[in-house]
Amino acid sequence: MDTEPKTGGRVTRRRVRTRANLLDAAFAVFAAKGFGRASIEEVCEAAGYTRGAFYSNFSSLDELFFALYRQRADLIAEQVAGALAQDGPDLDVAQSVDRVTEVLLLDVDWLLVKTDFLVHAARDPAVAEALLEHRAGLRRTIAGRLARARGHTQLPAVLGDADSAAHAVVAAYDGVTTQLLLDKDVDGARAWLRQLLTALLTDGSGRAR
């Protein structure tokens, strides 16, 4: 058996490691083949586990897929929150934009998997609802930071409130990463995202209005 059972309500370290290895293997398989063309057997082979190990951790490929998406989406939210938290109440928009664009996960393989997940979610209302909640969580992180800076840093009036500004930031990220999927230019994507966010959140000069 490739995994250990839960003991007294505690998840064993081996089980945690097995789950992590399955997620890593699934990421590689999904990026190479696409979610719709990958099988449980291929994920198990890539991870070096049996189907029994798989079913000890996930009930289906769909569940594993969502766990993988949640893992990466949470990482992005943590990166954004960490970058935005470095300023005091007087938010330095230009410096925050620089930090966010430097740490954001701009990985082509992840974007391939993410795109597969978006298409999957578009055809499954339950998955779509969960995905929308994760995206809303990312926006709340950004909006909360922008709201805390109000009174110190004025955002362009066209964006309205902090929630609208957060929507704009996420939309900019979505647009830049779509282009990155096609041209594979990571450095160009970071530079373009930096310029776009600076233009959105300031007067375009890097100085907050």
Q: What is the DSSP string of 81-137?
A: HHHHTTS-SS--HHHHHHHHHHHS---HHHHHHHHHHHHHHHT-HHHHHHHHHHHHH
Q: How far is CA 50 from the centre of its chain?
A: 29
Contacts of 157 (CB under 8 A, 6+ apart): none
Separation CA 127–CA 131 (nearest Å) = 6
How would you write 128-146 as a 3-class SS string? Answer: HHHHHHHHHHHHHHHHHHH
pTM for this model (two decimals): 0.70
Separation CA 125–CA 145 (nearest Å) = 30
Q: Could you list the pLDDT tens digit for every one of the 209 residues in the chain?
A: 344 444 444 568 888 999 999 999 999 999 999 988 899 999 999 999 999 999 999 999 888 988 888 888 778 777 777 776 666 656 677 777 788 788 776 788 888 888 888 888 899 898 889 888 888 887 887 788 777 665 555 666 666 678 888 888 888 888 888 889 899 898 898 898 888 888 877 755 545 44
